[in-house]
Structure 1
């Protein structure tokens, strides 16, 4: 009968054991939450960085496209303008072929014709200028192989070597590009 009189363990201790394990479970849950929060913060930071990089890339693409569009607009007329340069040259030659004495001796019709050719040449140069095409200034400038084509060298005491002293044919540029190099004579030391 002594076996029957065994007393069960007190229930209070079991409840205390359960109560003691609850803080451990809460600590584990808190650590899991903190870990999840840290992982989510890292993910948000990564996504934010990715978004900023994509925005910067989009901005760079937009700027590049604007620059390419501006260049395409500026240089679109290059071939057409190059073909018109011969017209400008011929007008200049026509005007240069008439000496000042011949102009004064010319009748009114011839003077009017010369004035018309001069106005047409000026207007053509103005149109060139509106589209970014400019006549190169050469005489007195340092020789630039990108913008000048040397036809000959001239011994010169008044100009330093490498300076353009004579222009045989005008050169033109469109924007920063050479449309046609100027045909020039360059000074050399004597």
Structure 2
């Protein structure tokens, strides 16, 4: 017998022994799933993956919509934030118009001055309700956070660094300096 034939016989014999051993021991039967069962499991996993993908896409779309709505709401809020204040100032504007109309009909300057004084108080009260307060500067120590010094003057009455005169009122809006007071300071 040739060497090649011997190898072939040996391979056939080994294959037969392996098959016999596998059948006798039951090896591979519990590990080998029937083909139909594997396909069904694969289909179920595909469906789960598709559902997860759809949920992801819906969630992404919801988030994009939320972001867009939030941006629009923020823009609208900024656009109309001062509408409450403007609405409160309308009666002041109406009173100014009435005062101007009354002054054209009547030449009474005293009543015009009295009307303008009342309007000024009304305007001050409206702004104060919104959180605007005038600063008291005269007699206070100079503070660059609240005062803008435009002049220094000699003063026998005040120590150095005291506000002697207020040239323009300063205002605080809630807790923030809106406009510093323009002042003269003693040296």
Q: State the TM-score bracket (shorter-chain normalisation).
A: 0.3 to 0.5
- TM-score if structure 2 supplies the norm length? 0.46
Structure number with bigger Rg:
2
- TM-score if structure 1 supplies the norm length? 0.46
Q: Which has the higher contact order (CA 8 A, sep 6+)?
A: 1
